[in-house]
Amino acid sequence: MKDRVRRLFSQISPKVDRLLIGNATEPHLDQTFFYLFDVPGGLFEGSWLVAEPEGTVHVLTSQLEEESARQAARSDPGVEVHAWGSREERERLLTDLVPASASVGLNYRELTHEQFLQLGSTFPKAKWADASNAVRKTRQIKDASEIERLGRAGAIGSRVAQKIPGLLRRGATELEVAAEIEYAMNREGASGRSFGTIVGFGPASAEPHYAPQDRRLEPGSSIVCDFGAFTLRYASDITRSFRFGPTDPELKKVHETVLAAQQAALAVLKPGVPAKDVHLAAQRVVDASPWKGRFTHGLGHSIGLAVHDGFAMNPTVDEPIETGMTITVEPGIYLPGRGGVRIEDDVVVTSNGYRFLTTAPREYLEVGA
């Protein structure tokens, strides 16, 4: 992990003496903790990570996960594990590792207010610096190990996407299909879902961030399934849309338009291109169709230890695409009261373009009712 630590420190300005990453209780766990300490399991609630500029990492963990931490540290000589049995003991460890008047970088975007107040009490003379932008920029460029794990998560999502037509049967509820998708991901090797699975039938498929309910699948329904897997803490995020016959000519054309919009975005996706240009390439395809204005969200986001990993592609983002980014490309068209279509894939940006991490078929597919 030393290389990741050094890259992160190089992004922090002005320079700091230490970087402190803290976990509260789930779901308030800073994934940067696991970016700098590669431990496959455990929550590490209440744990702290102290990083030094030359690359050394100190992990302060409770006895609940001490063995997992020590086992992970055996393969990384740059990591030192310190176990604590009480809050007072944890505070003493922190004061041993962080000089009293140090300049300390904190990930403001993830640190809870309670943690910040506690740090102020423990280190009244410390100078705090917001390292959150440095954290974001460092984490959004993935190394080979991260891309390999993201590829494994994407492969699980792709295999499950191909199973979905076999899960669609008349009378099944959205909740039942969502449960089948999550079970299938675990059977394929996922350690869990990377976010709440979305399954929407009929009019519900026109709501991008829908939560599945007890709506039953009936003939003439459009279907949107948006889901993802965790593999060794890394996420996938894939969306496929289907039709539960009979054919609706308009919604078939909507699907074809969304696919064309995704292809248009991918055609311009390469290092150096502003993120907004990738979004606008897809938006132009939709706006030239009869459904102008029905693409109602950003084109995509970075993906990694978190399913939304800090970078976005939308019409306001000038930040350029960079080699090593892993991002989703997910245009959609939504017709309230009727149905919607979204097609989403994970890609890694290469030196001259991109490579798919998710590979399930994207074309229009009508399932017999």
pTM here is 0.95
| CA dihedral (214, 219, 223, 225) positive or negative | positive
Where is the domain boundary, 78, 104, 139?
139
Whole-number Å distance between alpha carbons of 202 and 362 = 19
**Distance (Å, whole) CA 339 – CA 287:** 18
**CATH number, domain with residue 23:** 3.40.350.10
220 lies in the same domain as 319:
yes
User: Any residues with CB less than 8 A from the CB of 87 and at least 6 apart, and which?
Assistant: none
Domain residues for the domain of 87 are: 2-139
Buried b (16+ CB within 10 A) or exposed e, 280-292: bbbbebbeebebe
Tell me what pLDDT residue 278 has.
98
- 347: tokens are 């890609």
Q: Any idea which residue has 């699975």 for tokens?
A: 197
Residue 1 has a pLDDT of: 85
**pLDDT (0 to 100) of residue 369:** 66
| Same structural domain, 102 and 191 | no
Tokens 């350690």 sit on residue: 191
Answer yes or no: do 187 and 130 share one domain. no
Query: Which two tokens mark 12?
Result: 């922090």
Question: Domains in the chain: how many in total?
Answer: 2
> Quick check: 135 and 107 in contact, CB under 8 A?
yes
Mean pLDDT by 10 residues, the chain (369 residues): 95 97 97 97 96 98 96 94 96 97 97 97 97 97 98 98 97 98 98 98 97 97 98 98 95 98 98 98 98 98 97 97 98 97 98 97 92
